[in-house]
Amino acid sequence: MKILEANKIHKSYGNKFNKQEVLKGLDIAINQGEFVSIMGASGSGKTTLLNVLSSIDRVSTGSITIEGKEMTGMKEKQLAEFRKHYLGFIFQDYNLLDTLTVKENILLPLSIKKVSKKEANQRFEGIARELGILELQDKYPNEISGGQKQRTSAARAFIHEPSIIFADEPTGALDSKSASDLLNKLSELKRNRKATIIMVTHDPVAASYCDRVIFIKDGQIYTQINKGDEERKNFFKDIMKTQGILGGVQNER
């Protein structure tokens, strides 16, 4: 079942005298329960695509529908309410509040949804245990490692059970072991909770954990490859081969 559909997405910056067209009529569909990676060279438009799909930025023209709800026509107040219920976010730089404990950071999405304390604690224990950070609940962000911070960020994204999790270079600031730990946890959460995850990454290793990789070039979809029943190491080779044809993929920041 399709959970997200984007049709004829255009995104431009500037004015009519100095206009830069970043996205050039993309069509994209994401199925419920998919773990999808978006890759592309610097300047290809992959981060812009993630931003418009996640409502962080608005499209110039085109339509985006999530769970049957058309986002592009929503007012700011409607969008804020929509994000609160339907979307979760994992950022490269964690975006944790230093003055709150791990548990308090994770519970933030539930505090604005007015979930009961009992239910909030039950949800916290479940997600924190799945991500292996339950014992860190009383620590502050400056007392834990980068990998633990990102797992805290992931727990915060999942705790309100959104329709889609958007992840922007979630392993970009992590060492290889922490990155691998996070991606394994995301894969488990995807399976156990039937979660839908859309991730932008420049790293073919990270992308190899996904079900599908969409390659963006010059503001359009260049190609996409599906993992299917392939082992991860073989899917990684497929990603590297496509990356080579594209001329190399660099980090787009």
Domain boundaries, the chain: 2-252
User: What pLDDT, on a 0 to 100 scale, did the predictor assign at position 70?
Assistant: 95
Closest CA to 216 of 9, 5, 64: 9
User: What is the C-alpha to C-alpha distance for residues 201 and 207, in angstroms, rounded to an integer?
Assistant: 7
pTM: 0.92
Return the sign of the alpha-carbon dihedral for residues 79, 80, 85, 90. positive
Is pLDDT above 80 for 88?
yes
What's the CATH code, domain 2-252?
3.40.50.300
- How confident is the model over 173-178, as a mean pLDDT? 93
Please give the share of the chain, as a percent, with pLDDT higher than 90: 86
**pLDDT tens string 133-151:** 999 999 999 999 999 999 9
- Six token digits for residue 30: 């994401």
Vertex 154: Cα angle to 220 and 183 (nearest 5): 65
Please, what is the average pLDDT of the chain? 93
> Taking residues 51-72, what's their average pLDDT?
95
Residue 193: strand, helix, or coil? helix
- Contact criterion met (CB below 8 Å) for 40 and 249: yes
